[in-house]
A and B are shown apart, each in its own frame.
Chain A
Amino acid sequence: MRYAKRLDFTGTLDKQEWYSPSEGLYDQATKDLIRNQDKAELVIVVDRAYNCADPSQAHLVVDHINLTGDNPLVGPNDNAVGPRFPVVNNIYLCSADLIDQEETWSIGNPLGKLPTGIAAGVKAGVRLDDQEWQTVKGLGADFYCYNLVQCMILAAHRGLPVVGIALPEGAQLDEQMMIALVR
C-alpha cells in the first residue's frame, strides 16, 4: 500500500480521510501539506471541474495547461524540497500506471475506467464565458479547474506523482472509486 496525500477541493469527501481546505480553494496550508517531507509517495487531488463534455462522471486528468497567471514556486527556491526549474512532464498517473496496483485489483481498478482529459487551471472564482471557453478548449483543454494545477506543480517539485480527479458539479465519486482512492 502506498501512502498518499489526499486533497479534496469539492468538499464532498470524508474529511476524516481527505484534507479539505476551509474555503475549498488552494491555500498556504495546502502548499505546506504537499511540501511537507513525509513518507508520501503520491498526491491524490480531487478538484471541481467545469465545462466537462460529460458532466455526469469524474475524469482522470492526464495533463494540464496553467492559465492561472501564477505559479506556487515563484520566490526563492528551497533546494531541499526540489530543483529551481522542475520538469513537470509525465507527472500525472494515468490509467495504465494504476491498473496494476495490487491494492485495487480486487475491485477491477475503477480509476482505469474513467474518461481522461486535459485540465486548464484558471484563476480561482473565474467562470469562463462561451467565447473564453471556446478559446481555451481550442488550445487543448477538456475542462477547467481552480486548484489542481497549483497542487500538481508543487507535487512535481517535491518529486511526487499525482492522481488528478476532475469532478463536475453534481457528479459524485462512486463507492468503488472511493475505496480505490483511499487504498
Chain B
Amino acid sequence: MVSLDGAKHGRTAQEAKDTLQSLTDLRPVAAVVLGSGVDLLEGLQDAVSISFKDLFGISPQVEGHSGKVTIGVLDYEGVKKPVAVFRGRFHLYEGHPWQAVTLAASCVVACGIPNMILTNAAGGLNLDFNVGDLMVLTGYRDHLSPEWRQKGLVGAVMQEPTDCKNALTEKLIELGQTLHQKDKGFRALRTGVYAGLLGPSYETMAEVEMLRRLKADAVGMSTVPELLTCKGTQTQACAVSVITNVWKPDEAMGGHEEVLEASKAASKRLDKLFREAIITL
C-alpha cells in the first residue's frame, strides 16, 4: 500500500483526486463503496491502495470499516475493467461534518468516474425481508442532511421518499433476476426505500413503526449523503443494502456484531452481482 503523509494530502475533493490520479494511470469505470462488514472485489490486478488517512487526512473510527481505497483492474469472465473500491466511509455520527462525509463521493465526481455503487448494512423494516437479503434502492428518505440537524425532522417526515432509480439501478435489478433464474441459491434481489438516519443509537420500536408508515423498507446511517452528492452530476449512483436484521415485534435487536456477521454472509452474492455488473459498464 502506498504510504503518504496524511497531513499534506487530501482533505478536499480536488486534492484527493490529484492524489489518486498520481498513483495510477487507470481510469475506473466505477467506484464501489463498501459499508460495515461488506467485503468484496478482492484480487484486482495492477492494484494500488491508499489509506483514507493519507488520501483524505482522516480515518473512519468504526469497526468493519478499514478505510482504504484500491484502484485496480477487475478481470472477470475474460473481460477487464478498471475499478476503484472504497473500503469504508465517514459517518455523521462519528462527528464528521457533512463535507467529510461526502468527501469520497465528491472525489469520485471530481475524478469523472461515471458510475458509483454504494453498499451499506441496513435494518430491515419490510416484514417480507430476511436477514442476508440484498435490497437495491429505488428510493430513499433523507433524515440526516444538515438542514434537518438544524430544524429538526418534522419537515423531513412530511416529505415523500425521493426516487433514485436510474439505468444503473435497473441494470443491477435485471442482473439480479438473471442470476436468481440461473441459480436458485442466489436469492432474489429485493427493491425498496432506504431511510438514512443520523444514529448512532439504533431505532426504538416506535421509530420502526414510524418508518414503516413512511414507506421505508430498510434503515441505516449512511448512503444518502453520497447519493445527494452525485445527484445532478456526471456520476450515476446506485446503492444496495445488506439486510442485517429484520425488526419484528417481540424479537430482541442484535448489536453491531450481528450486523457484521450478516454482512459477511451476503458479501459473496454481492460480489458476484457487482462483478457481473461492472464488466458491462
Residues of chain A whose beta carbon lies under 8 Å from any beta carbon of chain B: 63-71, 73-77, 83-89, 118, 122-123, 126, 128, 131-132, 135-136, 138-141, 153, 156-157
Contacts and interface: CB of A to CB of B under 8 A. Distances in A.
A74 B153 contact: no
Contact of B157 (A70, A139, A157): A139
A85 B256 contact: yes
Nearest to A126: B152
Contacts of B157: 67, 135-136, 139
Contacts of A66: 153, 204, 207
Nearest to A133: B154
Given A74-B95, A76-B95, A89 B256 contact: no
Given A73-B93, A87-B255, A65 B206 contact: yes
B280 interface: no
A65 B204 contact: yes
Interface string B131-161: 0000000000001000011111110111000
Contacts of A123: 151-152, 154
Contact of B204 (A64, A74, A135, A139): A64
A138 B259 CA distance: 30
B79 interface: no
Given A75-B95, A132-B158, A86 B202 contact: yes
Q: What is the interface residue range for chain B against chain A?
A: 35 or more
Chain A residues touching B, majority SS: loop
Contacts of A131: 158
Nearest to B148: A69
B153 A68 contact: yes
Contact of A135 (B63, B154, B200, B206): B154
Contacts of A74: 92-95, 198, 200
B175 interface: no
Contacts of A156: 201
Nearest to B209: A140
A89 B206 CA distance: 9
B265 interface: no
B153 A69 contact: yes
A86 B201 contact: yes
A63 B205 contact: yes
A68 B92 contact: no
Contacts of B184: none
Interface string B186-214: 00000000000011111111110110011
A70 B203 CA distance: 13
Contacts of A153: 201
Nearest to B93: A74
B154 A128 contact: yes
